[in-house]
Amino acid sequence: MRPEDRDYDESREERKARKARERAVKRKILMIISTIVIVLAVIIVLVLVVLLKGRIDAENNQIDSEAVTSLSMTYVGEKTVFDSSDENVTSASSADSSNSAEDLGPVPTIDTSTLSSPDVYMIRVKDNAQVIDQNGTARIYPASMTKIMTVLVAIENIDDLSATYTFDGTEFNTAYAQGAATAGFEAGETVPILDILYGIMLPSGADACYAICNYVSGSEADFVTLMNQKAQEIGMTATNFANATGLQDENHYSTCQDMAKLLEYAVKNETFQTIFSTHIYTTKATSVHSAGIALSSTTFVNLASSTLDNGTTIIGGKTGYTDEAGHCLASLAADANGVEYILVTAGAAGDANATPHITDAETVYSQLPSA
């Protein structure tokens, strides 16, 4: 074979080998591209499945929430409107509890023999089970427990709690002349409505009550009309309010059972429960009080600790006292397992500085189940 023919054959073989290598590379590239496309397709399918499942779950949750009309809430200002008249609706604060009604166990047995209060009513909030009924339907004077309704009606009828009210001095002067407790707001002081609500609930300020009455209704009489309308809506059939402060009036009365209904309803409102459970609050600075006013809860200031030895925590309370009413207290507590209870006591004897109502609450709550 001639050298030139041999060179020609080798060159042809090299071209064939090169083309074979190129075809092999192309096949690998195609395989890689195909694999990538398949992986991307699988990912897209998985994402679509997850999105579709999420949408289905959301629609199912919406249907479920619409079905539970007894717990549905809408707001006017921060008014809680319930679509069911069922008195056994549980409080919003306990709605997220992991304890179902079946998990609660038997109703606790409470010894009331050492209590100073002659009138006592207590419920377990989750299932509305009656724990104590000692003269629960007897007529009482609610004294400053009244202010639970005052604060609730204000919250439900005021759209913007950051709005302000300017005191003209008559609020404090009227309260002082009546010998009522005051929060300390003075003439010429412009105060946020929210601060005034704390002034009603924590130190039981009558001056703050009069300010709220003026702001919402223009007068205490018209505000009291709203209070009585709310009482009827809640089902407080043995209650009549004659004022917004709880000062003694023969036509201003309730029962421990009715006050428990009121508190059970009120704590469903988030703003109310926040105020109700606050120990100490300082109001915004004003031209009169440059550092604000430090307000202390009349309930917590008399408690050695809000958490008792058995693990029960007293969440909030509203005290009351007049000579005719005696000492009274409406309170909310949770035992060591997070199960909530409402306790209302009334009629305990003692002078204005005594605290038999606080002692009674500690005695009752210390008997709740521990963890």
CA dist 331 and 313 (Å) reads 11
Burial class (CB within 10 angstroms; exposed 0-12, middle 13-18, buried 19+) of 371: exposed
Q: Which residue has the tokens 């005021």?
A: 158
Token reading at 287:
């031209």
Distance (Å, whole) CA 317 – CA 328: 10
Determine how many CB atoms are found less than 10 A away from the CB of residue 100. Answer: 9
Integer Cα distance of 168 and 163 in angstroms: 17
Between the alpha carbon of residue 61 and those of residues 37, 54, 57, 66, 284, the distances in Å are 36, 10, 6, 8, 41
Residue 306 annotated as catalytic: no
Q: Which of 91, 97, 204, 297 is catalytic?
A: 204
Cα distance between residue 230 and residue 258, in whole Å? 12
- Answer left, alpha or beta for residue 221, where phi above 0 means left and psi between -120 and 50 means alpha: alpha
- How many whole angstroms separate alpha carbon 330 and alpha carbon 344? 4
* Per annotation, catalytic residue among 91, 94, 116, 147: 147
What kind and span of H or E run contains 343?
Answer: strand 340-348
One-letter amino acid for residue 221 of the chain: A
Residue pair 200/155 in contact (Cβ under 8 Å)? The answer is no
Let me know if 162 is a catalytic residue. Answer: no
Q: Is 204 a catalytic residue?
A: yes
Q: Which of 144, 217, 254, 331 is catalytic?
A: 144
Cα separation, 268 vs 235, whole angstroms: 16
Q: Work out the burial of residue 210: count CB atoms within 10 Å of its CB; fewer than 13 is exposed, 13-18 middle, 19 or more buried.
A: buried
Three-class DSSP category at 219:
coil
Q: Active-site positions?
A: 144, 147, 204
